[in-house]
Structure 1
Amino acid sequence: MSMFHVIILAIIEGLTEFLPVSSTGHMVLASAIMGIGKDEFVKLFEVVIQLGAILSVVVLYFKRFFRSIDFYFKLVVGVLPAVVVGVLFKKKIDILLESPLVVAFSLLIGGIILLFVDRWFNKPVVKEEKNITYLTALKIGFFQCLAVVPGVSRSAATIVGGMSQKLTRTAAAEFSFFLAVPTMFGATVKELYDFHKNHEHMFTGDQVKFLVVGNVVAFIVAMLAIRTFITFLEKKGFRLFGFYRIIVGIAIIAMYYTGHLVA
């Protein structure tokens, strides 16, 4: 892994973390294309730099994070299902992260679903986060569990989950952003703990540099991507993202079966 790889993966993370196209899936694919070996540090890096992107939400929605204690309770309720699934199935999740083919089929199936989401959930009544109930937050949290499969997209799963509970596209997207903060913070802490437990020296100098640069780049790119995504979503919906996922999924499958990509 080189600094060039770090910057490319961080840009991909920043651009795709909040889009319903799977940031993890794109990083897995990019790593395979660039020939980056899947050692323990690379796996850690692909999780930890997501925190950099997620922190852009705290900056952009700073006031919302200090509006009420009720807001935090909803996030806790929403994140609980993912915590349970992550703890119980971590080893299996790590195996899935090594397979571009898993990403391909997840992108393809998810893309087909996104083609119809705007038609299925076209009568929203919940326009703001403060009107989301605890039960609704929990249900969205169960949708988030689907994102343990690379290529599904945490953003797509939670936004669709929100829309299924009668949230507007914007409200669902913003709650998805908020829910990502404790989710990715927890995932980062867990990855760092596991890495430290298995290594006498936690990081080399180069690895520290890679993590710092990766998080900074992901943060900056994500700051630019969030507002653009919200504006686009309000006007156009999910259909274009559905077509994109289908095209990328088919391309990956074609590359795999023609020997140009190894899963």
Structure 2
Amino acid sequence: MNVPLGSAALLGIIQGFAELFPFSSLGLLVILPHIVHLNVPTQGARYLPFLVALHLGTAVALLLLFRHEWIAVVRGWFLWLKGQHTPDGRMAWMLIWATIPVGLVGLALKHPLAHLFSKPLMAAIFLVVNGLLMLLGDAWHKKYRRHPLPMSQMSMGTAVKIGLFQILALIPGMSRSGSTMTGAVGQGLSFEDAAHFSFLLATPIIFAAALVELPKLHSGTHSLMIPALFGGVIAGITAWLSARFLLRYFQVHNLFRLAIISMAVGVIGIILVH
């Protein structure tokens, strides 16, 4: 199947926007082709590598946006291995511990989860659940807002617990950023730090998924390569703009408005798909 570049661009914009705005890019990318009949392969075995390519554009944008921080974190990790314990090295370990849960579950449930990419009704339902989860995050934030936990003082246990929330994002309709931010504020972080840590956490898991899935674009689905790369570039540009906006947004706002939007989009999706 040849995917038109216009369709790839549209999906790239949605990916770059919804990956960081907590509306579940996977959920929207599963629902939209069924509603507007885009010419894309929506079966999980073929669609998943295409979606991962779009996600890779987002990860590259985040890597560039936080490039100075990533350079410091990687350098700090190597220094830590040499016995020099620095705050940057500690942050590297926090990101590693938070990534391990979703990596293990993703590998263990890879094939069952792939089937969900052809179930738009399920994705729409989980968009509603995603909004409810973010409302829970708002409730937790009210509990800790007077004495928030600085991101630099997270423990290994805190990082793992946040990582457990990231597992939810393996389900189309559950937002990775929304889940991890909810988990982070539930552990006492401010919304600003929760968003910051969530955006950092996106990079390693997306690159890991890309290593597994992108080679499949050459195997029987070679016609997807150019549209996937084009869509990935568009997703990266959109993600860059989205991240810069949200880092400012969460300095003064919470998840409530975004939770309501997620639930509304989910309800509309249920109606249109059903």
TM-score, structure 2 normalization: 0.86
User: Following the alignment from structure 2 to structure 1, what is the Cα–Cα distance between the partners of residues 204 and 265?
Assistant: 29
Q: Contact 2:137/2:181 (CA < 8 Å) preserved in 1?
A: no
Q: What is the deviation of 1:38? A: 1.7
Give the letter aligned to residue 93 of structure 1.
L
Deviation, 1:103, is 1.1
- Match in the other structure for 1:212: 229
Q: Which runs of 4+ in 1 moved over 6 A?
A: none
**Percent sequence identity over matched residues?**
28
CA distances 1:157-205 after superposition (whole Å, capped 9, x unpaired): 1110111110110111111111111100111111124555xx3x6x63x
Aligned residues: 252
Shift of 1:37: 3.2
- Gapped runs of 5+ residues in structure 2? 78-88
Aligned to 1:261: none
> Matches of 2:224 and 2:157 in 1, distance apart?
41
Letter in 1 for 2:226: K
**1:105 aligned residue:** 125
Which residue in 1 is equivalent to 2:115? 95
CA distance in 2, matches of 1:194, 1:219: 21
Superposition map of 1:191-230 within 5 A: 191-193=213-215, 199=219, 204=222, 206-230=223-247
Match of 1:55 among 60, 63, 77: 60
Q: Which region of structure 1 is more displaced relative to structure 2, 37-46 or 218-227?
A: 37-46
Q: 1:208 to 1:254 in 2, by over 3 A?
A: closer
Q: CA deviation at 1:97?
A: 1.5
Secondary structure class of the residue paired with 1:234: coil
**Match for residue 104 of structure 2 among 84, 105, 122:** 84
SS of alignment partner, residue 258 of structure 2: helix
Please name the residue that 2:8 is paired with: 6
Q: Does the 8 A contact of 2:123 with 2:173 survive in 1?
A: yes
Mean Cα deviation higher: 71-80 or 32-41? 32-41
What secondary structure sits across from 2:118 in the alignment? coil
Whole-angstrom CA distance in 1 between matches of 2:149 and 2:46 = 41
The match for 2:176 is: 154
* Structure 2 residue 41 is matched with structure 1 residue 37: yes
Please give the alpha-carbon distance, in whole angstroms, between the structure 2 residues aligned to 1:62 and 1:126.
Answer: 26
Q: AA paired with 2:224?
A: Q
Partner residue of 1:183? Answer: 205
RMSD in angstroms over aligned alpha carbons? 1.8
Q: Residues 5 and 195 from structure 1, CA distance in 2 versus in 1: closer, same or farther, beyond 3 angstroms? A: closer
Give the Cα separation in 2 of the matches to 1:44 and 1:194.
6
Aligned match of 2:156 in 112, 134, 145? 134
Asked if the contact 1:25–1:151 (Cα under 8 Å) also holds between the matched residues in 2, the reply is yes
Tell me by how many angstroms 1:142 deviates. Answer: 0.8
- Paired with 2:35 and 2:110, the residues of 1 have a C-alpha distance of 25
Q: Matches of 2:26 and 2:230 in 1, distance apart?
A: 18
Asked if 2 retains the 8 angstrom alpha-carbon contact of 1:126 and 1:171, the reply is: no
Task: Determine the C-alpha separation between the residues in 2 that align with 1:33 and 1:4.
Answer: 16
Asked if the contact 1:22–1:153 (Cα under 8 Å) also holds between the matched residues in 2, the reply is yes
Q: Which runs of 5+ in 1 are unaligned?
A: 258-263
Structure 2 vs 1, CA of residues 32 and 187 (structure 1 numbering), >3 Å: closer, same or farther?
Answer: same
